[in-house]
Structure 1
Amino acid sequence: MSVRILALVGSLRAGSHNRQLAEAAVKHAPEGADIQLFEGLADIPFYNEDIDVEGSVPAAALRLREAVAAADALLLFTPEYNGTMPAVLKNAIDWLSRPYGAGAVVGKAVAVVGTAFGQYGGVWAHDDTRKSVGVAGGKVLEDVKLSIPGSLQRFAETHPADDAEVAAQLTEVVARLHGEAAAA
């Protein structure tokens, strides 16, 4: 069964290692897993109930909601900023959590992975992201974890797609996410 997985990257930087990690997931996705990278998180305004009304929802937020609604699962890639997830990813989750109880993320299988400069690879950000998307209604795969430390050194000369260990780990994450979404 083909499973549509939407990837959201919590870094807006052009040379982001998390963006590269998402590209590696696309390249090494197992058969039956179709991963699409969502473009446009930078265009979404901060969540505000005053603009989240029918007929007034910003086009960028509406596009995000539609992309998530059309997906079978979500794969979130996040760096760690000051010990937590970046605002752009939290904002996306906030838009996806509405309307309360019926947001686009409700019931979707979700895995959270990423890389960061520090020695723990962003585990605090990953934990916070799992918590936030779980509260928003996502079906978080709590035991699916991949936090790659030392991103600046590890990926200084090697794209994550060309790192055999990372490629194998990403393939396993995507396979688990695929299995969960296919069983739903």
Structure 2
Amino acid sequence: MSVRILALVGSLRSGSHNRQLAEAAGKLAPEGVEVDVYEGLGEVPFYNEDIDVEGSVPAAAAQLRDHAGRADALLLFSPEYNGTIPAVLKNAIDWLSRPYGAGAIAGKPVAVIGTAAGQYGGVWAQDDTRKAAGIAGGKVIEDVKLAIPGSVTRFAETHPADDAEVAAQLTEVVACLQGYATGAAAA
């Protein structure tokens, strides 16, 4: 069975280390797994129930929901902004949580990983992201964690895919998420 994992990156910066991490996850994915790094989170308007009306949902939000709906699992990459989840990632989760109880994230395996400049690798933001994704209806995989500290120096001259330790950890994360997605599909 082929598994499609939608990767959402909580940083819009073109040189984002979390984006590089997501790209590395795609490169390192085992056979039968496609990691689709989503483009366009910056175009999704802030969630507002007044504009979330069937038949007139903003195109960028509808596209995000469509991609998530077609995915077997989600892999969220969260940097840490002021000690918590970046607004763009929280906004994506908000859009994916609706309609309540039947959103595009409902029942799907979700893993949260990332890298940050600080000494803890963004664990606070990742914990907040797990919490938000779980409340939104995702099946958060609590035992899949990867928080890479010191991103500014660690990835200054090395892409995450070329860092042997990170590559091994990413491969394990994607394989684990594949297992949960296949198990969820069989259930």
Q: What is the deviation of 1:31?
A: 1.6
What is the match of residue 42 of structure 2? 42
Q: Deviations over 1:148-177 (max 9, x none)?
A: 000000000000010010000000000000
- Secondary structure of 2:142's counterpart equals strand
Q: What is the deviation of 1:138?
A: 0.2
Distance in 2, matches of 1:29 and 1:181, equals 14
The answer to whether 1:141 aligns with 2:150 is no
What is the match of residue 23 of structure 1? 23
What is the match of residue 159 of structure 2? 159
Distance in 2, matches of 1:151 and 1:110, equals 23
Q: Deviations over 1:46-98 (max 9, x none)?
A: 00000000121000000000000000000000100000010000000000000
Q: What is the deviation of 1:140?
A: 0.4
- Secondary structure of 2:11's counterpart equals coil
Question: 5+ unaligned residues in a row in structure 2: which ranges?
Answer: none
Distance in 1, matches of 2:34 and 2:84, equals 29
Amino acid at match of 2:108: K
The answer to whether 1:176 aligns with 2:176 is yes
Which TM-score applies when normalising by structure 2? 0.98
Distance in 2, matches of 1:118 and 1:153, equals 10
What is the match of residue 97 of structure 1? 97
Which TM-score applies when normalising by structure 1? 0.99
What is the match of residue 84 of structure 1? 84
- Runs of 4+ aligned residues of structure 1 deviating over 6 Å after TM superposition are none
Question: 5+ unaligned residues in a row in structure 1: which ranges?
Answer: none
Q: What is the deviation of 1:180?
A: 0.3
What is the match of residue 65 of structure 1? 65
Distance in 2, matches of 1:24 and 1:103, equals 28
What is the match of residue 131 of structure 1? 131
Q: What is the deviation of 1:15?
A: 0.4
The number of aligned residues is 184
Amino acid at match of 1:45: P
- Secondary structure of 2:48's counterpart equals coil
Q: What is the deviation of 1:30?
A: 1.3
Distance in 1, matches of 2:44 and 2:3, equals 26
Amino acid at match of 2:61: A
Distance in 1, matches of 2:45 and 2:97, equals 15
- Secondary structure of 2:144's counterpart equals strand
Q: CA RMSD in A?
A: 0.5
- Secondary structure of 2:52's counterpart equals coil
What is the match of residue 11 of structure 1? 11
Distance in 1, matches of 2:40 and 2:109, equals 22
